[in-house]
Amino acid sequence: MKICNLDYLKSVTPGSNAFAIQVIKLFLQDTPIEIEKIKAGLTNSNYEEIYKNAHKIKPSVSMVGSPKEVYDTLLKINEFSKAEINMDQLKDLIHFFDTEISKIYIDLEESLKEME
Protein backbone atom coordinates (compact mmCIF):
# COMPACT_ATOMS: atom_id res chain seq x y z
CA MET A 1 0.00 0.00 0.00
CA LYS A 2 1.27 3.42 -0.94
CA ILE A 3 2.13 5.84 1.85
CA CYS A 4 2.40 9.03 -0.19
CA ASN A 5 -0.38 10.50 -2.27
CA LEU A 6 1.27 11.70 -5.46
CA ASP A 7 -1.96 12.92 -7.09
CA TYR A 8 -1.15 16.61 -6.64
CA LEU A 9 2.40 16.18 -7.87
CA LYS A 10 1.23 14.30 -10.94
CA SER A 11 -1.52 16.85 -11.63
CA VAL A 12 0.99 19.68 -12.01
CA THR A 13 2.03 18.33 -15.41
CA PRO A 14 -0.75 16.03 -16.64
CA GLY A 15 0.31 13.52 -19.26
CA SER A 16 3.95 13.59 -18.19
CA ASN A 17 5.67 12.24 -15.12
CA ALA A 18 8.84 14.24 -15.78
CA PHE A 19 8.18 16.89 -13.13
CA ALA A 20 7.04 14.34 -10.53
CA ILE A 21 10.12 12.23 -11.18
CA GLN A 22 12.39 15.25 -10.79
CA VAL A 23 10.73 16.31 -7.52
CA ILE A 24 10.93 12.80 -6.07
CA LYS A 25 14.59 12.42 -7.05
CA LEU A 26 15.46 15.76 -5.43
CA PHE A 27 13.48 14.80 -2.33
CA LEU A 28 15.34 11.49 -2.03
CA GLN A 29 18.66 13.24 -2.57
CA ASP A 30 18.27 16.34 -0.39
CA THR A 31 15.94 15.44 2.47
CA PRO A 32 18.22 12.87 4.16
CA ILE A 33 20.94 15.53 4.40
CA GLU A 34 18.57 17.99 6.06
CA ILE A 35 17.30 15.35 8.48
CA GLU A 36 20.87 14.54 9.51
CA LYS A 37 21.32 18.27 10.22
CA ILE A 38 18.14 18.24 12.31
CA LYS A 39 19.40 15.27 14.33
CA ALA A 40 22.81 16.93 14.76
CA GLY A 41 21.05 20.08 15.95
CA LEU A 42 19.22 18.00 18.54
CA THR A 43 22.46 16.38 19.71
CA ASN A 44 24.11 19.80 20.02
CA SER A 45 21.02 21.53 21.46
CA ASN A 46 21.17 23.87 18.47
CA TYR A 47 17.49 24.67 18.11
CA GLU A 48 18.08 27.27 15.43
CA GLU A 49 19.68 24.56 13.28
CA ILE A 50 16.71 22.27 13.88
CA TYR A 51 14.27 25.03 12.96
CA LYS A 52 16.18 26.11 9.86
CA ASN A 53 16.35 22.62 8.41
CA ALA A 54 12.83 21.58 9.42
CA HIS A 55 11.51 24.74 7.79
CA LYS A 56 13.58 24.07 4.67
CA ILE A 57 12.04 20.64 4.02
CA LYS A 58 8.40 21.53 4.78
CA PRO A 59 7.45 22.27 1.16
CA SER A 60 9.08 19.08 -0.11
CA VAL A 61 7.43 16.90 2.50
CA SER A 62 4.09 18.40 1.54
CA MET A 63 4.75 18.21 -2.21
CA VAL A 64 5.36 14.44 -2.20
CA GLY A 65 2.03 13.85 -0.48
CA SER A 66 3.35 12.67 2.86
CA PRO A 67 0.75 11.45 5.34
CA LYS A 68 -0.84 14.19 7.44
CA GLU A 69 0.60 12.75 10.66
CA VAL A 70 4.14 13.01 9.29
CA TYR A 71 3.64 16.54 8.00
CA ASP A 72 2.00 17.62 11.27
CA THR A 73 4.97 16.19 13.18
CA LEU A 74 7.30 18.28 11.04
CA LEU A 75 5.20 21.36 11.78
CA LYS A 76 5.53 20.68 15.53
CA ILE A 77 9.29 20.22 15.19
CA ASN A 78 9.40 23.52 13.35
CA GLU A 79 7.24 25.31 15.93
CA PHE A 80 8.92 23.89 19.04
CA SER A 81 12.47 24.46 17.81
CA LYS A 82 11.73 28.03 16.70
CA ALA A 83 10.17 28.95 20.05
CA GLU A 84 12.54 26.66 22.00
CA ILE A 85 9.61 25.12 23.84
CA ASN A 86 8.61 21.55 24.70
CA MET A 87 12.18 20.35 24.38
CA ASP A 88 11.22 17.12 26.14
CA GLN A 89 8.83 16.32 23.27
CA LEU A 90 11.16 17.50 20.51
CA LYS A 91 13.45 14.46 20.73
CA ASP A 92 10.49 12.08 20.40
CA LEU A 93 9.03 14.08 17.51
CA ILE A 94 12.33 14.03 15.63
CA HIS A 95 12.72 10.31 16.23
CA PHE A 96 9.17 9.64 14.99
CA PHE A 97 9.68 11.84 11.94
CA ASP A 98 12.99 10.16 11.09
CA THR A 99 11.41 6.70 11.37
CA GLU A 100 8.41 7.62 9.23
CA ILE A 101 10.45 9.46 6.60
CA SER A 102 12.49 6.28 6.10
CA LYS A 103 9.27 4.49 5.15
CA ILE A 104 8.40 7.36 2.81
CA TYR A 105 11.77 7.01 1.05
CA ILE A 106 10.99 3.35 0.30
CA ASP A 107 7.52 4.26 -0.93
CA LEU A 108 8.84 7.02 -3.18
CA GLU A 109 11.60 4.80 -4.59
CA GLU A 110 8.93 2.26 -5.58
CA SER A 111 6.77 5.00 -7.13
CA LEU A 112 9.78 6.29 -9.02
CA LYS A 113 10.42 2.86 -10.54
CA GLU A 114 6.78 2.68 -11.64
CA MET A 115 6.90 6.14 -13.26
CA GLU A 116 10.20 5.77 -15.11
Q: What is the pLDDT of residues 10-46, one digit of tens each?
A: 898 888 899 999 999 999 999 999 999 999 999 999 9
SS3 (DSSP) at 2: coil
Residue 19 counted as domain residue: yes
The predicted pLDDT at position 14 comes to 85
Section 92-113 average pLDDT: 98
CATH at residue 92: 1.20.120.160
Q: Which of 68, 76, 63 is nearest to 31 (CA)?
A: 63
Domain total of the chain:
1
The predicted pLDDT at position 12 comes to 86
Residue 2 counted as domain residue: no
Q: 34-83 pLDDT, tens per residue?
A: 999 999 999 999 999 999 999 999 999 999 999 999 999 999 999 999 99
Question: Predicted confidence band at 96 (pLDDT cuts at 50, 70, 90)?
Answer: very high
The predicted pLDDT at position 44 comes to 96
- CA separation for the pair 63, 66 (Å, rounded): 8
C-beta atoms surrounding 93 within 10 Å: 22
State the DSSP string of 29-79.
HHHHHHHHHHHHHHHTT-HHHHHHHHHHHHHHHHHTT--HHHHHHHHHHHH
Whether this prediction's pTM lies above 0.75 is answered by yes
- CA separation for the pair 92, 87 (Å, rounded): 9
Which DSSP letter does residue 99 get?
Answer: H
Which domain, by its residues, includes 64? 7-115
Which DSSP letter does residue 14 get?
Answer: T
Section 76-101 average pLDDT: 97
Residue 1 counted as domain residue: no
